[in-house]
Amino acid sequence: MRWLLLPYAAGLVLLIILPALLSFALAFFRYDGLNPPQFAGTLNFALAFTDDLFTLSIANSLALVILPVPLRVLGAFLLAWLARGGRLSALLRAAVFLPSAIPASAFALAWLWVLNPLYGPLNRVLGGLGLGQPGWLADGQWARPGIALLLLWLVGEGFLVGLAALYDVPRDLEDAAAADGAGALGTLRHVLLPLLAPVLLLLAARDAVLLLPESFSHARQLTEGGPYYATFTLPQFIYEAAFDRLDFGLASAALWVLYALTGVLLVVVYVVARQWNVGTSEEDFLL
């Protein structure tokens, strides 16, 4: 059976580990892809941290993780709870998962229309309700919330995980809670949420890791980092440093900052889990 893991292990080494190690070595060289690399020590890291766009890109990347991740996890879990049964459960499951099955480019173009400040349906609804109509992607203050709103719809995978975890909860526990007088919301709060906290923690860690690079494709298609660099993320800084300016050493240094940032987010999730007394061992994830 172990031999079946060989193709996966080979892909992991050739496509992830080896390129990561090569990029770490390249981070200490000045290299434009045309001339021989020249050793530069830690100059690339120094140049990155003295670049205002670099620090701004880190702040924008964190903003597109800190806000959407808790809402995505909570939304996926609540939708899974609603879709466990009932006449419309099949329709709800299809509606929730469908956005995750649409190609990213098509999904971004659809939201470019939804968030249009002049004739987009979202602003038309807000106007009909007598509420303000933001400029969304054309406004530096509303561009990040607009992309965060887009990311909230991509919860299909988390929805399926939450639905499977809910089906794994013994029905006797919910029946016992109902017999003790707990309503649907009481059962959700006092029975299901504590039992599934490790699963929600796993989904939060997954989303935190995925949204750092994933937000780049949507932001680049919708705003190209604007307006006024409001959605200029760290992956876009890496992309432009490597392929626009041919500064592969600087791009590699920024890439490893992205790796470090991902590690910090995982540590934060772990610390929060320990503060909430949520177990993280393998046994805790087995219901």
Is 35 a domain residue? no
pLDDT for res 242: 92
Is 243 a domain residue? yes
pLDDT for res 179: 78
> For each of the chain's 287 residues, which pLDDT tens digit applies?
678 888 888 998 998 899 889 999 999 999 998 899 999 999 999 999 999 999 999 999 999 988 899 999 999 999 988 888 767 778 888 888 888 888 888 888 899 999 999 889 999 999 989 888 999 999 989 999 999 999 988 888 899 898 888 888 888 887 787 777 777 788 888 888 888 888 888 888 889 888 888 888 888 889 988 888 999 999 999 999 999 999 999 999 999 999 999 988 888 888 877 776 655 555 554 44
Question: Model pTM?
Answer: 0.86
CA angle 265-268-272, nearest 5°? 145
Is 46 a domain residue? yes
Is 2 a domain residue? no
The verdict on whether omega for the bond into residue 227 sits within 30 degrees of 0, i.e. cis, is yes
How many domains, in total, are found in the chain? 1
CB neighbourhood size of 272 (10 A): 12
Is 3 a domain residue? no
- Residue 48 to residue 142: CA distance in whole angstroms: 27
Is 13 a domain residue? no
User: Domain range spanning residue 82?
Assistant: 41-285
Q: Which single residue is written with the structure tokens 């880190």?
A: 58
pLDDT for res 23: 92
pLDDT for res 285: 44
The CATH number of the domain holding residue 198 is: 1.10.3720.10
- Residue 180 to residue 227: CA distance in whole angstroms: 55
CB neighbourhood size of 221 (10 A): 15
Give the contacts of 92 (CB within 8 A, at least 6 positions apart): 79, 82, 83
Contact 237, 254 (CB under 8 A): yes
pLDDT for res 143: 93
pLDDT for res 287: 46
H or E element that contains 81: helix 68-82
Q: In this structure, what DSSP letter does residue 27 have?
A: T
Is 200 a domain residue? yes
